[in-house]
Structure formats: structure tokens, C-alpha cells
Amino acid sequence: MIKTSSPAEINIVEDRILSDNWYILRKITYDKTTSDHHTIRHVREVYDRGNGATILLYNQQLQTVILTRQFRLPTYVNGNDTGMLIEACAGLLDKDNPEAAIRRETEEETGYQIGTVKKVFEAYMSPGSVTEILYFFVALTQRK
């Protein structure tokens, strides 16, 4: 059996912005009423960096997947000696719809253009502390 809570059981007590330097880091204090009518106070930090999109690109001519290599500071400070990661093309939506954003990011990061794009699914990437929803796509590359 999966226990769920409805929004009616949550009461936001305080919502403070701790930082809006790069993205927004908020400290939220809330009360949650349990099914047996007890109220528990929680304090959490929530990082809002916006929503994003990612795509798995396939080049039929080369019969290969197209990936990017980028420096990621959080991985560096967590022990990755170079901070470099090999990853699928991705980026923030920046007020675009997910498909428009992934088309933009694909061309910017890889130089490839894409035709038909298929949305596979969407998911919260780290829902314990980050608000981001990531939209996942697949597509064939057209030309570079």
C-alpha cells in the first residue's frame, strides 16, 4: 500500500529566499498533518533552477549516439578530478516549450539539426530538493 498526502494536508508557514544569485534557493517551513491528525513541522531548502529538456540523438549514417562533453562544477567539487562529464544534449527551457528548447539546445551543443522529435517521458530529477522537471526526447540527426 502506498501512502499519499493531499495538498490540503500541507500548510506553508514561511517561505524565504536564501539566494537568487544564479537560480533561486528558498527555505520553506511547512506543517504537514498526518492521517492520524498530528501536525509535524518541517524545514526544507528548495532549489528552483527552472525546467529542462534532454534528448538522445541518433545518427543513422554513422550508426552512433551523439553525446556532449562538458565541465560540471558540482561534480568537480564532489570528487570528479576533471569535472568533465559525457552526457546527452540538454538545457533549460528558458520560457520555450520543451520541444522548442531541445531543438535549440541540440543545434547549440552539437551543431546537428533534427526533424521529427518524439517525447518519451518527463520526470522530476531530484524531487527531494530540486523543483526541476526534465522532458526526455529522442530524434534522428539530419545534418551538421
Amino acid code (one letter) for 55: I
Distances (CA, A) of 13 to 39, 40, 78, 127: 12, 12, 33, 20
Task: State yes or no: pLDDT of 7 exceeds 70.
Answer: no
Residue-wise pLDDT for 70-107, tens only, equals 999 999 999 999 999 999 999 999 999 999 999 999 99
Distance in angstroms (rounded) separating the CA atoms of residues 100 and 104: 6
Over 77-140, what HEC string results? HCCCCCCEEEECEEEECCCCCHHHHHHHHHHHHHCCEEEEEEEEEEEECCCCCECCEEEEEEEE
Q: What percent of the chain has pLDDT over 70?
A: 94
Helix (H, G, I), strand (E, B) or coil at 39: strand
φ, ψ of residue 105 to 5 degrees: the values are -65, -40
Task: State yes or no: pLDDT of 4 exceeds 80.
Answer: no
Residue-wise pLDDT for 40-73, tens only, equals 999 999 999 999 999 999 999 999 999 999 999 9
Average pLDDT, the chain: 93
